Amino acid sequence: MVSQNQYLEAFNRLILPTISKVQRLLSPSLEKAVSAQGLTLAEFRIVGVLMGEAQGYSQKELAQQLGISSASMSVSISSLEQKQWIQRIADQNDQRVKRIKVSPKANFDDIAGLIYQLEASATKGITKKDLHTTQKVLLKIIENISN
């Protein structure tokens, strides 16, 4: 029988737990950075998923993308709409459906600076080549998981 310590050592050599740990450690700093802009971390993640999405998502699709309940999503969407970070628009094919997309009034300037600063701090001492390789590997992992 494998001991708990042996299991833990093997588990810690896997990449997915390491990615999860990076996220857990980064979340408090990220939350502090976005709260200075009047956003919660949950709201920031919603805006992040919506960035670059031309037609937007329905509330149900957005909740599925983020793996959260529709009820939680509803509260965040209302808040983001009041803060003018997102807007609801009618679906082109079904007027009963409202799509959610980033508002043209959303201002990313301050948040972008904070994110760049956070990344610079987190990646200090890592070569550009290693960061490029890491980015490629992570994108491949995302592709594999998405398929």
| Residue-wise pLDDT tens digits, 42-60 | 899 999 899 888 888 988 8
Matching residue, tokens 């509330």? 59
Cα-to-chain-centroid distance, residue 38: 17
CA nearest 114: which of 30, 7, 19? 30
What values do phi and psi take at 98, rounded to 5? -105, 130
Quote the pLDDT of residue 130: 97
Q: What is d(CA 24, CA 29) in angstroms, rounded to the nearest whole number?
A: 10
Mean pLDDT over 76-84 rounds to 93
**3-class SS at 53?**
coil
- The percent of residues above 70 in pLDDT, for the chain, comes to 100
Taking a C-beta distance cutoff of 8 angstroms, is the pair 47, 86 a contact? yes
Q: Which domains does the chain have, with CATH numbers?
A: 38-106 (1.10.10.10)
